Amino acid sequence: MDSSRASVGDTWFSDATGSTGDYVRSIILEASTKTLTPTRGPALIPLSEIIAADKPLIEVYFMRHPSEMIIRNDFFISEMNGAAIALLQQSPTAVGDALAAIGENYVADSLDSALVSNRKTRLLSRLRLINEEESSLELVLMLLLALCGVELVDPRSDGGATTLSSLIDNVSLVLEFHTRQGKSLSAMAKYFARGIARQDLLISLTRMQRTKIDPCTWLDEYSLCHADRVMGLTTTLAPLLSQLAALAEDVQRTITSYSITDSTTAEASHLAVRSTDLLEREASIRAQLVSWRPIRDPTMSMAMSRTFLLHAYAWRAAALLYLFRLFNRLGSSPEADTEALSMAYEAMVHISGSPQDIKLSLWPLFIAACELESREDRAHATRLFDDICYARPIVTARRTKSFVKDTIWPARDSGENWDWMHFARSAPIPL
């Protein structure tokens, strides 16, 4: 089976002349009109086991989903499609449902919410059955990742964080159960786990809570020296961001408990975060962030390296700004606000290029944009938000843009509390 999958991956993505999208389309059309003989190996897409109505939706998945979800790179698109096809051959019905559920969200005239709800319910039922049968970990993780994808690209979603958080909880439990039994994760299992781990990092940092997926479960030797489809050159930054999220949770818990017994909340907050343990952890994380360098991937071209390096340094700058604001909250003093604005400029200077190049820099843009006050700066940030929403039209991009423009900036202009960390706790948004 392993050798068959490898040969299929090589066959599927052996295009040397046309674009990846054109080649995938030609293969899908060929597979739908021809029956391969046993000597040629398994069909690339086992169409006979997939519902006829799902076939065009699966095609839409391969045509649009990988390119709109990841940094522009043909290798990543091939890699993502190859992983999906390997599992599609292993479990055509279950994986076919997952891919069709995502593809359906890209079809403009598909607005039947009852049908979408039914498809999600069917996918969840299959996931429960597969999990109970203790099928492959790769398949379980892929279906959970697919459900995350369905939620993110669903134009009817209101951006509520409940579904995504529940899915991340399930991934955490599955990985913990698997590792507790002393089993190692395959490369494909880690591949799918990384996609959900990134979402876990984003939500955890925004909500100021610990991550649920330990980076050590998916960060392997390959990740240490190769760019990733969703993390770029920042996979080695993930453990630091996980520490940062844990520190944020402890800082907030300390502030909350301290404020209960003190009438002056602002002063209590300032004093509470000055405990020795928190300060030592802050200094340690700051030193590691300052000394951190992106992964070196020698297989990348100069042009691609520039895009990925800008993305990586934007994330590091945003993490340093986030750390600064944990101990110097927004609006706490003019000096702190001035320092934070300078740090925001440093993050934003790295967010440049085409919409396709910056679409995975939503979190750094969010952290920096909250600090902006002048009309000119905000107009520039709005253009960047628009570019990201255009290149990656997911619900979290729209919600993040709205959160900054309609909540944080108006609150600051009217002299009210504009601390995004406060608002994010009272009305969490998944980024």
Task: Judge whether residue 6 has pLDDT over 50.
Answer: no
Of the ranges 36-45, 60-69, 254-263, 335-344, which is most confident?
Answer: 335-344
pTM: 0.85
pLDDT for 104: 86
- Per DSSP, the three-state class of 255 is helix
Task: Judge whether residue 262 has pLDDT over 60.
Answer: no
55-69, 339-353, 415-429: range with lowest mean pLDDT: 415-429
pLDDT for 151: 85
Contact 405, 382 (CB under 8 A): yes
Closest alpha carbon to 269 in 281, 280, 260: 260
Q: What is the pLDDT of residues 77-103, one digit of tens each?
A: 989 999 999 898 888 888 998 998 898
Mean of the per-residue pLDDT values for the chain?
Answer: 82
Side-chain half-sphere of 322: how many Cα atoms within 13 Å? Answer: 30
**367-386 average pLDDT score:** 98
Distance in angstroms (rounded) separating the CA atoms of residues 323 and 405: 23
pLDDT for 133: 62
Contact 337, 331 (CB under 8 A): yes
Contact 134, 157 (CB under 8 A): no
Task: Kindly give the residue spans of alpha helices, DSSP state H, lying in 181-300.
Answer: 187-207, 238-260, 265-272, 276-291
Burial string for 413-426 (b: 16+ CB within 10 Å, else e) reads eeeeebbbbebbee
Distance in angstroms (rounded) separating the CA atoms of residues 198 and 224: 16
**253-267 average pLDDT score:** 63
408, burial (CB in 10 Å: exposed 0-12, middle 13-18, buried 19+): buried
Residue 332's pLDDT band, with cuts at 50, 70 and 90, is: confident
Work out the percent of the chain whose per-residue pLDDT is above 90.
49
Question: Residue ranges of the domains in the chain?
Answer: 2-154, 235-426
Residue 28's pLDDT band, with cuts at 50, 70 and 90, is: very low
pLDDT for 32: 38
Structure-block tokens of residue 43: 């069909």
Cα–Cα separations (whole angstroms), residue 208 to 237, 332, 385: 17, 19, 23
Distance in angstroms (rounded) separating the CA atoms of residues 53 and 371: 48
